Amino acid sequence: MHEWALAEAVLASARQIAEQNHLKNVTEVTIRVGALQQVEPPILRFALSQIKEGIFKNAKFRILRAKSTLKCRVCGNTWEFNRKKLDKATSEAIHFIPEAAHSYVKCPDCGSPDFEIASGRGIWREDIKGAQ
Ligand SMILES: [Zn+2]
């Protein structure tokens, strides 16, 4: 249930931005979640709706998925991680342990399983809207 901890972190960070921009009523917060982040957007959205209060009372939360980019350590090729190309069991293994991607994903150019996650891990705040 770490979506609840994430929801609190998202609100804390959004609150800082709202205060910096003197927003009294936040209407929309957009969050981007990396494709390799272990988050279920519906659970995160639910958690946010349960704990929102004060300036976030009327806020809507938009949760977007970001693409993940992988970079081969052998040949330097970069490519996009596409969960849909994996079968369900593999996709779930990677969902719970992103490092497990190394057992299943190989560089499409040279076939090496030695790659790094260049982008798309983590969760970050994309945008915040509101009234002063
Ligand atoms: Zn390669």
List, as ranges, residues with CB under 5 A of the ion ligand 1.
72, 74-75, 77, 107, 109-110, 112
CB-CB contact of 30 with 126 (8 Å): yes
pTM score > 0.85 for this model?
no
> What is the CA 17 to chain-centroid distance, rounded?
19
**Could you tell me the pLDDT band of residue 66, with boundaries at 50, 70 and 90?**
confident
Both tokens assigned to 5: 């901890």
Distance from the alpha carbon of residue 86 to the mean position of ligand 1, in angstroms:
19
> Who wins on pLDDT, 111 or 83?
111
Distance from the alpha carbon of residue 104 to the mean position of ligand 1, in angstroms:
14
Distance from the alpha carbon of residue 91 to the mean position of ligand 1, in angstroms:
21
Distance from the alpha carbon of residue 34 to the mean position of ligand 1, in angstroms:
22
Distance from the alpha carbon of residue 112 to the mean position of ligand 1, in angstroms:
5
31-53 pLDDT, tens digit per residue, is: 988 877 778 888 999 999 999 99
Going by the DSSP 8-state scheme, the letter that residue 17 receives in this structure is: H
